[in-house]
Chain A
């Protein structure tokens, strides 16, 4: 697992997995569609990513589909990292 995936996965576990719940979170574990993360609680994940990676993710890109797995979140982060670099 690459560094960004690890950071995202560790955050998801810390922020969303209830105490005592031993479920495994892999790069492809459904997050939104499984109900682990919903649109109400997703806001802290969005904020974490923007702060950690110094990016801005517009509302139009911050969809449940884009956040539905660690893998998809990492894709999103990389996409907007490129955008930030491109805009310099």
Chain B
């Protein structure tokens, strides 16, 4: 037997170490569709309780929308359950082509290629498009999937201080000897909720002859006046060479992702990206649902407008209550606690008050930067947020953190 007791004990010891460090993550079980209100079993085996969910990526409230569900049903009926194939063998339906075309129009690019997830898009893109003569220059807070994708690529890796355009400029100057340069950033940074300075990045990229890659997973559908993404918001629509984004957040929340951008880069992915070549095609049910989502958000900005209002209102409530927040203007509003145990205790206290949020701590965020990452949804009504802030206040009072700034909270850190 290869999984001997010695091997088992080795892993058990490592898991115990994670628990001892206060870094153990537990799943909660949701007994309802994703929505502003959900039914949760936690801890395992306990009575199911109704909670307000304030930590999903369901930004536009479309994860359980009846029209999206109906369209998904129609997709199942018309095109079946699964493709049982990678795309290039016999896994491409007319609907895949249609969705790629619609995403191209929505994002303002030249071409789009679907992937099983944006994680896969990021994993496959760099290796497919860059080689050892090139350089990737990434913001230090890019998503983990981008870090993984860069590590798979033979191009040189470099990084710049988060959103520091002076430092990016230095890096671009340093790497003028490379064949191609690619600046890589999130559009909206998923842990801090801040927005990339895309206008400055594009200007620098033009000056120093570099391509620009943006992962807009936390922006597509709701950032920018018509929800096209960070590039619309920053006034550089049509100027980004590569956008990767997900169908698993605002755009329905099921799964799927894409690479969208310059025709030739997308074609390189079609020819060489390993997750595209070796992983199953996005299921017809998901494609059908995503097409309906694009219908719903292309004709009105009602949902993204409501989300914007919700985010502004929630941020105001939290500030008034005395919480330490990361500054920003997106629907991601991190409540900073810094200490991992405090973040877990706080999340538990919130749950006891009927609000569902999860503590974020190492390795999801750097050590000493634990937080509750709240996320707004267009599905939230004002009364949800008014209820939630009372829960936050109670938990804040219980833990003695209201009105404390970063220095005081850091002084309380034990981990």
Contact = CB atoms under 8 A, between A and B. Distances in A.
A44 B159 contact: yes
Contacts of B369: 35
A2 interface: no
Contact of A40 (B159, B161, B164, B367): B159
B297 to A, nearest CB: 34
B140 A41 contact: yes
Contacts of A11: none
Contacts of B158: 43-44
Interface string A20-52: 000000000000011100101101100000000
B140 A40 contact: yes
Contact of A18 (B157, B159, B162, B368): B162
Contacts of A19: 161, 164, 166
A35 B366 CA distance: 6
A16 interface: yes
B147 A40 contact: yes
Contacts of A44: 158-159
B159 A35 contact: no
Given A40-B140, A41-B140, A35 B161 contact: no
Contacts of A40: 138, 140, 147, 159
A19 B162 CA distance: 10
A43 B159 contact: yes
Contacts of B161: 15-16, 18-19
A62 to B, nearest CB: 13
A38 B159 CA distance: 11
Contacts of B138: 40
A35 B368 contact: yes
Contacts of A34: 367-368
Interface string B368-387: 11000000000000000000
A65 to B, nearest CB: 15
A41 B150 CA distance: 12
Contacts of B159: 40-41, 43-44
Contacts of A41: 140, 159
Interface in B108-141: 138, 140
A54 B366 CA distance: 32
B366 A43 contact: no
A40 B151 CA distance: 9
Contact of B157 (A15, A38, A43): A43
8 contacts: A16-B161, A19-B164, A34-B368, A40-B147, A43-B157, A43-B158, A44-B158, A44-B159
